[in-house]
Structure 1
Amino acid sequence: MRARVLVTDDDAAIRTVVREALRRAGHAVEVVGTLADMRRSLRSFRPHVLVTDVVLPDGNGLDHVPELIAEYPAMPVIVLSAQNTFMTALRATEQGAFDYLPKPFDLAELTQAVADALTRMPTLGEEEGGPHEDLPLIGRSPPMQEVFRTIARVVSTDLTVLLLGESGTGKELVARAIHDFGPRRRAPFVAVNMAAIPRELIESDLFGHERGAFTGAAQRTAGRFEQAQGGTLFLDEIGDMPLEAQTRLLRVLQSGEFSPVGSARAIRTDARIIAATHQDLPRLIADGQFREDLYYRLNVVPMRLPALRDRGSDVGELARHFLDRAAADGLPRKQLDPAAIRCLERHGWPGNVRELANLMRRLAALTRDPVISASLVQQQLGHLGQPQPPLVPESAELSEAIEQHLARHFAAYGGDLPPDGLYDRVLAEVERPLFRLTLAAVRGNQLKAAQILGINRNTLRKKLTDLGVGPAVRRNDLGGD
């Protein structure tokens, strides 16, 4: 569809390349550099779609989105921003923007966003307000930007979310963000770690029990489902749940009701479910350790959190954040030498963000110098006394990086051999980011992804299912506008 598109950005170079890209797509394009000029063009040019930057010479473009939508309700607004934080993505959605693209953006992605905007009306967000950005959802890397955008799109829904990723990547933090910035924010957020509960107590912990239901049940106790009524129930490490408890959980998700242990009365549940695991659920299903029907009940909106080694450009910002937080807790304030940041960026981070947070706290507490050097970082990275493989140079080939990662993997077993099935596990580790990044690059177009990868489309689909990898969630995947 040929449309009129108004682009507002204070960068003349960006205005030029965006104008040419959209014109090549067949649209009539007008570009301006200020909010005042945008207002004039809205009246004279009457665009079908508005593309606007956030920071403009005469104000904040994002702050004006609600009134623009009120004045031009049929005009979708696409927000561009170099302030690519979680809160920017969330505010763009809450203010009613049709889409949010972090800078630097791909011109094909912007062209597609305009095309999508022309086929659907924007959905207005929730009311303004809510918690401030005191959560370390930090990152300007492309993988984290995709996480931010997905959170912003599901936060106002009640869709079940399945968080996937290695231990220490921040799955509970994301679950809390979805709760704290959503409509259930004033109700409880209840987290339960399925791996930490004895098998014989799981049903009682989840669904509660009546007095006398079993030996030691001296009084009625509400379970996690009842505690989370009206709020969010976060089922962490769902892959460690015993099969018999999985069956009970599946019945509750299907019926929306549960009964405490020792009771015949049914209680209607009203809790949003967010589950998380570091395990390969399709492999557990194949091994008969996880129910396939439960997997599909939980896997409504899958969200894979990137490992810290896949978002190296975020390490410095995260490290400084954790040092600031340590100082706020009373530890000495420290700064990082640029060489120390480069050292952190080249580390493999088997413990992910959790390992980085602990390292920064340890450095703040134990080092005397106000500036943390690269040698101090290297010394503390070997703090556990295990031999550390050399850091992977920035210019290393992929095979070298994989070799260093495997060396750390073998070292983690303290001289013992890893469990059987190492080949398949390593192959999956390589294939997951390959498929995930390829899908992100083509905005979920599986046909194009298969062409780029040089494999059959059916093979791609089977691989995506086996690896638990999916394309980025888009509005039409959520059943909304």
Structure 2
Amino acid sequence: MTQVDRRNRPRAADVLVVDDEDDIRELLELSLMRMGLACDTAGSVGAARALLAERSYRLCLTDMRLPDGDGLELVEYIQAVRPGLPVAVITAFGSIETAIRALKLGAFDFVTKPVELKALRELVQHALKLREGGSEEHSAAPAERSLIGHSAAFVQLRAQAEKLARNQAPVFIHGESGTGKEVIARHIHALGARAGGPFVPVNCGAISPELMESEFFGHRKGSFTGATADKSGLFQAASGGTLFLDEIGELPLAMQVKLLRAIQERAVRPVGAHAEEPVDVRILSASHQDLGRLVAEGRFRQDLFFRINVITLRVPPLRERREDIPDLAAHILARLAAREGGAPRRLYAAALEALQAYNFPGNVRELENLLERACALCEGEEIGAGDIGVEGDCSPLAAAGVAGSTATPGPESAEAGEGQDEVERLRIIRALEQTRWNRSAAARMLGMTLRQLRYRLQKWGME
């Protein structure tokens, strides 16, 4: 016989708790009642399905092991019949792989046994915010961070991002430099249950290895020379919100171990502290590098890769969504006009054609830089092809093929590759001249990291 607890049936229930252990059900029910929430409880998958068929809930909490099935089966069932209902799983301590499987199936989040009441309360609060559609202050992403584009590739990406905003799964965003990985991360945060909390972005390649642990986890006064006061780290700063780890592939191996523990335990230990502190953050990460290749080369830990790579979003380069360039250009010009004052400049047809023919190795960031420079050079209200200045940089796309092709290069493609290399060298020299050889500024203009720029300069003997 299926077990259904109907003690709370007279009033509308907020949460469905599914667990076959009486003491766990009672603990969860009491904890939720202290939060002002009414519960229905069930001891099996069949009983849970029966209640779901009769009533509506704001959240479902389910154990992984049940007499007539498991929590994964219930997650799949709810995704099929009640896709808007957040479902969180309760899993045994150390069963992170099972929790990750649940997240991939669409679970909102997970808690481990023995259940910590603080973690449970935080999970419930986030889930109910999501169910209610979030607060008014984050009902829409800020205009300057909107996802602009109508190409098939970008429409699919936007739909994936909006779906991922509805759970707490770690997301790895992969794409070339300048494609807008942080914009995607901010969009996921802004549409999710944590939007009322902080969004803390950090460039992992820009932190000194010696200071990395202190920057991430904080430190205690006197823990090292110069530590004159207690300091919170990035994890603490992102508490209740999202921590975005950009260029995570740049982390040294020693720091990868500590980051993995912080993510798994949901706790950090500041430098010089004797105990760990719980942290409530969602982790989003990004890189332009192929982390799978770094794992194979021994430069990135496989266990950390599996932990952050629960779900991967690939951001297409601009050359794969050229039909979005007119909308992107109009958006960027409007933003520049708002910053400088006055009406937005317009693009002549020839200028727009030049942009759409250009290969954009620096992607959207390079488009922004090109248009900002064009606005500075343009004397009238309309920007011409000469103001854009990309004619010499346009690669023969039809002859050279789509970037990233895996075909074996012949003599002609090798010559094209050498030509592309020379084009890139000239672009970098021009950017350095425009920034008076300020390499950091030139890297930003080119849409690449400082490390990438240094590598190219060293390759060409220009360091």
TM over 0.5: yes
Structure 1 residues 133 and 198: alpha-carbon distance in aligned structure 2, compared to 1, 3 A threshold: closer
Do the aligned residues in 1 keep the contact of 2:351 with 2:384 (CA within 8 Å)? yes
Do the aligned residues in 2 keep the contact of 1:348 with 1:405 (CA within 8 Å)? no
Q: Within 2, Cα distance between the matches of 1:339 and 1:318?
A: 17
Structure 1 residues 289 and 410: alpha-carbon distance in aligned structure 2, compared to 1, 3 A threshold: farther
2:132 paired with 1:127: yes
Q: Within 2, Cα distance between the matches of 1:406 and 1:345?
A: 23
Q: State the match for 1:341 in structure 2.
A: 352
**Structure 1 segment 216-227 matched on structure 2, within 5 A:** 216-227=226-237
Which whole-Å deviations, capped at 9, do the CAs of 1:140-185 have from their partners, x for residues lacking one? 1111111111111110211101010111011111111111121111
Do the aligned residues in 2 keep the contact of 1:231 with 1:271 (CA within 8 Å)? yes
2:370 paired with 1:366: no
Consecutive unaligned residues in structure 1, runs of 5 or more: 1-72, 75-115, 383-387, 417-481
- Of 392, 396, 401, which aligns to 2:396? 392
Q: CA RMSD in A?
A: 2.7
Do the aligned residues in 1 keep the contact of 2:197 with 2:238 (CA within 8 Å)? yes
Q: State the match for 2:248 in structure 1.
A: 238
Q: Within 1, Cα distance between the matches of 2:289 and 2:245?
A: 14
Letter in 1 for 2:227: A
- Of 163, 175, 179, which aligns to 1:153? 163
Q: State the match for 1:443 in structure 2.
A: none
Structure 1 residues 391 and 337: alpha-carbon distance in aligned structure 2, compared to 1, 3 A threshold: farther
* Structure of larger gyration radius: 2
- Of 377, 382, 387, which aligns to 1:376? 387
SS at match of 1:175: helix
- Of 340, 357, 361, which aligns to 2:368? 357
**Structure 1 segment 13-52 matched on structure 2, within 5 A:** none
Q: Within 2, Cα distance between the matches of 1:407 and 1:399?
A: 14
Q: State the match for 2:182 in structure 1.
A: 172
Do the aligned residues in 2 keep the contact of 1:147 with 1:303 (CA within 8 Å)? yes
- Of 172, 180, 192, which aligns to 1:182? 192
Structure 1 residues 391 and 287: alpha-carbon distance in aligned structure 2, compared to 1, 3 A threshold: closer
SS at match of 2:239: coil
Q: State the match for 2:291 in structure 1.
A: 281
- CA apart distance, 1:399: 3.3
- CA apart distance, 1:136: 3.4
Structure 1 residues 122 and 294: alpha-carbon distance in aligned structure 2, compared to 1, 3 A threshold: closer
Q: Within 1, Cα distance between the matches of 2:155 and 2:421?
A: 28
Percentage of matched positions with identical amino acids: 40
Structure 1 residues 131 and 299: alpha-carbon distance in aligned structure 2, compared to 1, 3 A threshold: same
Q: Within 2, Cα distance between the matches of 1:187 and 1:358?
A: 31
Structure 1 residues 122 and 283: alpha-carbon distance in aligned structure 2, compared to 1, 3 A threshold: closer
Letter in 2 for 1:399: G
Do the aligned residues in 2 keep the contact of 1:139 with 1:314 (CA within 8 Å)? yes
Do the aligned residues in 1 keep the contact of 2:253 with 2:299 (CA within 8 Å)? yes
Q: Within 2, Cα distance between the matches of 1:199 and 1:213?
A: 17
SS at match of 1:412: helix
Q: State the match for 2:330 in structure 1.
A: 320
Structure 1 residues 406 and 291: alpha-carbon distance in aligned structure 2, compared to 1, 3 A threshold: farther
Do the aligned residues in 2 keep the contact of 1:136 with 1:321 (CA within 8 Å)? no
- Of 424, 434, 456, which aligns to 1:412? 424
- CA apart distance, 1:374: 2.2
- CA apart distance, 1:188: 1.0
SS at match of 1:302: strand
The farther-off stretch of 214-223 and 367-376 is 367-376
2:223 paired with 1:213: yes
- CA apart distance, 1:269: 1.4
- CA apart distance, 1:306: 0.6
Letter in 1 for 2:229: Q
Structure 1 residues 118 and 213: alpha-carbon distance in aligned structure 2, compared to 1, 3 A threshold: closer
Structure 1 residues 190 and 364: alpha-carbon distance in aligned structure 2, compared to 1, 3 A threshold: same
Q: Within 2, Cα distance between the matches of 1:119 and 1:176?
A: 28
- Could you tell me the TM-score, scaled by structure 2's length? 0.59
Consecutive unaligned residues in structure 2, runs of 5 or more: 1-51, 54-76, 86-129, 406-412, 429-463
